[in-house]
Amino acid sequence: MVLYPVMRKLLDKRVVLASASPRRQEILSHAGLRFTVVPSKFKENLSKASFPTPYAYAMETAKQKALEVARRMHQKDLRAPDIVIGADTIVALEGLILEKPVDKTDAYSMLSRLSGKEHSVFTGVAIVQCSSQGGGLDLDVSEFYEETRVRFSQLSEELLWEYIHSGEPLDKAGGYGIQALGGMLVEAIHGDFHNVVGFPLNRFCKKLAELYHPPRPEDRPREKQDSIPAVDTFDRLGDSKGAGPGQGGARGDRRRPQAPGREHAKDADSKPSVESVPPTAVLELIDGYKVSKALFTACKMKLFDLLRDEGPLSTADVARKIGASEGGTGQLLDVCAGLGLLDKTEGGYSNTPLATLYLLSDGEYSLHSLIMIHEEFSWPFFSYLDFAVREGTVQTQRALGTAGEDHYQECFYKNREKKLQFMRAMHGHTKVAARHVATAFDLSGFTSACDLGGSTGALAYELARQYPGLKVTIFDLPEVIEDAVFFKPHGPEAGQVSFVPGDFFRDTLPEADLYILSKILHNWPDDKVHQLLSRISRSCKPGGGLLLVEMLLDEDKCRPLPALLKSLTMMVLFQARERSLSEYHILLQAHGFTDVRAVRTGSIADAVLATRA
């Protein structure tokens, strides 16, 4: 077991706990971790309704707490700590998030709801690894959550008020503390006790082991079991000042876990066999396209819209309403349930929160149009991946039956319907990560920004919300600008955003303190990337900024998997690619930009900020 040795490895690190919680401090101190306490000043005012799950809210709050401390400490003395730990614990009952009660009446309301029921305690944890170079700050975020199920006894009015009058509920998530008097309310617990107290120590140690302590051969499991996930045997960020590993996600990180059996290949004394290296991972890869096609088909038939409007519905009802066979519809619905997109009960099928948030055609964070773009456009090109790899060319003729060079224009702008579909796809994809990107760096020093190719303004409006003093100009093609009005929000931020038609390869760029390229560079081959950056460099005044929004590859180009697949997609569609942070350093410095910094946001896009010398 490597849980304690990894603590020893951190003894020479400057570790900061971004929490004033005495319970978290006690748990980590007893585990042997040496750290400094710097309470976060992050205002915990995130909109709970904007998160698909309670644990997503907890993870985002934990991340923002840690990032605030890292940035504040760096600004104070230009030296950030090596590691900042943020955490946020919430109680959730039937999807409702219960935080700390504001008064005794609120505590009574919370505890009455919990009485006689089982609820979940979620703790989101963010581990922010910091690297300060040349006055800049690089941040690498790993995040996870832990869930513990807790059941309360049936509580009498007398017991409820006796506990409330003790004063203990008022600074506890959910209105109780299991480690003290609140323990008498608990009938059963399933999961990590420390998680309910306020910090999931076991899971935290395993995450540290992933990040800092490659397993020894004798530690590697010989059978599939629930243990510390296998990691590559190379030094992590904690051993050098170089670029760090990929980003964290729910109960894990964005790096693809090693396939079962890879650890055995590194053990010279072990010969792989079907028992030690089962074929499960390969079979899952073979079935991957089936999963995508099932999702594409369900969205194409607008199953999720139907179930939102009329669900729950039986198989027969769904089949009748979409005009499909009952047998085929039932199998498609069951697959969607197996994928976590639908709930199946005696009453029929209904959407899960994941489907409600992302798969409705008209949802605020809808990815429905993006899915249709992949179905209609990306899928045919990937059918000729072998030709794209062999020839190093875009397979327009084979995929579309045309030989035109500008297949981008042909596919996405050939008529107004296709153009709006593409704009909706980009709008949803951008909006999902907009807040993460807008808050990745402190941009309050800029008063004007120009989002080149900013389309509907999804990122621009979020920047305006976060920075009331910032004026943002969207510079995009005239045919895009004419329909951007359909995506305009109703809030005051709309007044900070303006639209200017133009082609960023040909026309004069609007003046701005900060230029933004959000998911633009990965669409173009290297010669066009240099051409665009050269134009921006000439327009950007010394001290101005350039914000790039892309998916960052790790330095070994083998992770994280979403970025690798995105890069492959760009190669297939445009002979373009994603890049690593070191590649962006070289690329931007060649065009006069310095102080290149990056934040792996933990969302579907990362952020890179550079300053014009």
522 vs 332, 414, 507, 569, 578, CA distance in Å? 34, 22, 21, 10, 5
Going from the C-alpha of 303 to that of each of 174, 292, 306, 317, 328, the distances in angstroms are: 36, 15, 5, 11, 13
Interior CA angle at 512 toward 511 and 518, to 5°? 115
Give yes or no for a cis peptide into 560 (omega within 30° of 0).
yes
The dihedral of CA 482, 483, 487, 491: what is its sign?
Answer: positive
234: how many CB neighbours lie within 10 A of its CB? 10
Q: Are 328 and 315 in contact (CB under 8 A)?
A: no
**Spatial distance between the Cα atoms of 449 and 428, rounded to a whole number of angstroms:** 21
Distance of CA 605 to the CA centre of its chain: 7
CA dihedral 242, 247, 253, 254 (to 10 degrees): -110
C-alpha span between 378 and 601 (Å, rounded): 26
The strand pair at 15-17 and 83-93 is best described as parallel
HSE at residue 286, side-chain half, CA atoms within 13 A, is 5
Can you tell me the distance from the alpha carbon of 359 to that of 350, in angstroms, rounded to the nearest whole number? 13
Contact between residue 431 and residue 365 where contact means Cβ atoms under 8 Å apart: yes
Cα dihedral across residues 367, 441, 451, 481: positive or negative = positive
Give phi and psi for 106, each to the nearest 5.
-65, -40
Residue 128 CB partners (closer than 8 Å, separation 6+): 63, 66, 67, 70, 83, 84, 85, 86, 139, 140, 141
With CA atoms as reference, report the closest residue to 222 among 263, 168, 161, 174: 263
From first CA to last CA, the distance across the chain in angstroms is: 49
Would you say 418 and 411 are in contact if contact means Cβ atoms under 8 Å apart? yes
Contact 246, 559 (CB under 8 A): yes
Cα–Cα nearest to 297, from 382, 377, 372: 372
In angstroms, the Cα distances linking 127 to 28, 155, 248, 328 are 14, 38, 9, 45
Query: Contact, 296 vs 374, CB < 8 A?
Result: yes
Q: What angle do CA 435, 64, 228 make, to 5 degrees?
A: 110
Nearest-5° Cα angle at 466, 462 to 467: 115
What residue spans of 314-367 are helical by DSSP H?
315-322, 326-338, 353-358
**Omega within 30 of 0 (cis) for the link into 221:** no
How is residue 518 written in tokens? 């959000």
Closest of 295, 312, 220 to residue 261, by C-alpha: 220
Active-site annotation, residues: 88
